[in-house]
Amino acid sequence: MKLQERESYYKEALPVLLAVDCIIFGFDREQLKLLLFKRKIEPFKNEWSVIGSFMKPDESAEAAAVRVLGEYTGLEEIFMEQLGCYSQVDRDPGARVVSQAFFALIRLDEKKEQTVATHEAKWFDLEEVPGLILDHNLMIGDALEKLKRKARYRPIGFELLPKKFTLPQLQKLYEAIYQQSFDSRNFRKKILSLQVLKKLDEKDKSTSRKGAFLYTFNKRKYQSLVERGGQFLM
């Protein structure tokens, strides 16, 4: 059945606009960051917003989110999951709008920094996020809480790290996610005890002459940990 034919059954229904909003986190090896852009339409034109747009009639929410991420950031193949539906009746003064929110994780590098800049988007440290339009601050808070929950039972943080990383870099990431400090010795002991990392012969000497050994993530051993019901983080 064609879209036009399906619409004919619901002529009496009042219109509700459907939107997707994407909360995009990135990690630059030091700080957890959030990608924002200045809204291009009224109401609230030129004010800071998470990345979002209206769904098209011929696409799913997931397809719309992928499209929006590509259009506004130029980024592809990003880890993304549904966050939740935001349907407060008066959430948008422009119209009756229901938003399906997603959160995404990307590894930050110089190329990606340049890409988002060309699309008039900007990365903010979490401590410096400006006041946002609508209920976008609520979305960000919900996304952070979900990230914390998932990071405890899944190595979701590896989506934010380079393929080769040091243990100090891994610790900094999880400290950024949980917004607290971990004892270095305990963190190292816990992570290595899980046996989900592969130690390489290479070292990162960017921060010291002695350097730190690089690691990669072993997905097979992680899957075994999941099947045993193990917890990834303390």
Catalytic residue among 120, 128, 145, 202: 120
Q: State the burial class of residue 23 (Cβ atoms within 10 Å of its Cβ: 0-12, 13-18, 19+).
A: buried
How far is 16 from 76, CA to CA, in rounded Å?
A: 29
Q: Please confirm, yes or no, whether 81 is among the known catalytic residues.
A: no
Q: Which residues are catalytic?
A: 120
